[in-house]
């Protein structure tokens, strides 16, 4: 099972193994969640770099329609949400509980669908 019982702070993160955070990224996440209390989770923006760390592509941040997220299939959702880091308040993670281990490659899909039930992205 993928669990977060050892986390001790108020904001949890789902970060892929090949993700890198830019300077001040975590401060930006914290400030955004504090500024908009109706939001309990937020995603990172995708930035692609070449081998010299030069930015070659940056995707814009978007506002997502919650009802649409609830209705799309896993393949459609994965197209939208792959390669993104997600940050959520501890209280939101506690509402959804543990992510079942057999999901393995779809654990993040499960996470998004469960978060969407409780809070806008």
Instruction: Specify if 6 maps to a domain.
Output: no
| Alpha carbon 97 to its chain's center | 16
Helix axes 107-118, 74-81, angle to 10 degrees: 90
Instruction: Specify if 1 maps to a domain.
Output: no
Instruction: Specify if 77 maps to a domain.
Output: yes
pLDDT, tens digit only, all 121 positions of the chain: 455 666 778 888 887 777 777 788 888 888 988 898 888 888 877 777 788 888 877 777 666 777 777 666 655 555 555 556 778 888 888 888 777 666 666 667 777 778 888 888 7
Gap between the Cα atoms of 58 and 94, Å rounded: 32
Instruction: Specify if 16 maps to a domain.
Output: yes
pLDDT of residue 1: 43
Instruction: Specify if 23 maps to a domain.
Output: yes
Instruction: Specify if 20 maps to a domain.
Output: yes
Whether the model clears a pTM of 0.75, i.e. scores above it, the answer is no
Instruction: Specify if 57 maps to a domain.
Output: yes
pLDDT of residue 70: 67
Range of the domain at 92: 11-118
Q: Are 83 and 16 in contact (CB under 8 A)?
A: yes
Gap between the Cα atoms of 48 and 55, Å rounded: 6
Instruction: Specify if 4 maps to a domain.
Output: no
- 42's CB contacts (< 8 A; 6+ apart) are 29, 32, 33, 86, 87, 88, 121
Pick the closest to residue 82 from 105, 51, 55, 98 (CA basis): 105
Q: In the chain, how many domains are there?
A: 1
The CA-to-CA distance between both ends of the chain, in Å, stands at 24
pLDDT of residue 19: 75
């Amino acid at each position: 099972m993928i669990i977060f019982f050892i986390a001790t702070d108020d904001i949890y993160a789902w970060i892929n193994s090949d993700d890198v955070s830019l300077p001040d990224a975590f401060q930006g996440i914290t400030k955004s969640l504090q500024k908009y209390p109706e939001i309990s989770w937020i995603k990172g923006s995708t930035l692609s770099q070449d081998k010299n760390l030069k930015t070659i592509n940056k995707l814009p941040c978007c506002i997502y329609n919650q009802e649409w997220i609830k209705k799309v299939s896993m393949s459609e959702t994965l197209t939208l949400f792959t390669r993104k880091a997600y940050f959520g308040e501890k209280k939101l993670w506690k509402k959804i509980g543990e992510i079942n281990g057999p999901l393995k490659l779809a654990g993040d899909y499960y996470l998004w669908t469960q978060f969407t039930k409780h809070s806008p992205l």
